[in-house]
């Protein structure tokens, strides 16, 4: 079946530090991969996506590359800011299951000045 395994949190970093949040997946078909971010008291916002192997999604300084050989989609940012403090979710969708998204457990990130 489909599933997403995400790095456990919480993660605490100093401002301008390098961020990596690991995400690996299992899928029966040809999934698209997503990173969503959730700020306190809000719903999820799409951060970036990749729809096929070797695609790189990027947005607001965040990047993730769809690696089929390692079934991974790790999120990276070169220099985090306090405003990046949030919970990050890795997710996949599979054309065989329509719009059902499979989410990881979420990784809480706190960036301290």
Partner 1 sequence: KAGVTQTPRYLIKTRGQQVTLSCSPISGHRSVSWYQQTPGQGLQFLFEYFSETQRNKGNFPGRFSGRQFSNSRSEMNVSTLELGDSALYLCASSLRSGSSYNEQFFGPGTRLTVL
Residue from the set 102, 107, 109, 111 that interacts with partner 1 by CB under 8 A: 102
Distance of closest approach, residue 86 Cβ to partner 1, in angstroms: 14
What string of DSSP letters covers 18-65?
Answer: -EEE-EEEE-SS-EEEEEEEE-TTS-EEEEEEE-STT-EEEETTEEEE
Spatial contact of 38 and 44, defined as CB atoms under 8 Å apart: yes
Q: Any contact of residue 46 with partner 1 (CB under 8 A)?
A: yes
Q: Which is nearer to partner 1, 53 or 112 (CB)?
A: 53
CB 82 within 8 A of CB 112: yes
Please report whether residue 98 would count as binding partner 1 according to CB under 8 A.
yes
Residues that bind partner 1 (CB under 8 A): 29-32, 34, 36, 41-46, 49, 51, 89, 93-95, 97-106
């Amino acid at each position: 079946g489909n599933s997403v395994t995400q790095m456990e949190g919480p993660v605490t970093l100093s401002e301008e530090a390098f961020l990596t949040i690991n995400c690996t997946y299992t899928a029966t078909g040809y999934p698209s991969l997503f990173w969503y971010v959730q700020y306190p008291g809000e719903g999820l916002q799409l951060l970036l996506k990749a729809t096929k192997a070797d695609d790189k999604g990027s947005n607001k300084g965040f990047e993730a590359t769809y690696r089929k050989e390692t079934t991974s989609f790790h999120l990276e940012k070169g220099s985090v800011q306090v405003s990046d403090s949030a919970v990050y979710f890795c997710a996949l969708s599979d054309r065989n299951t329509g719009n059902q998204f499979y989410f990881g457990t979420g990784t809480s990130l706190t960036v301290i000045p």
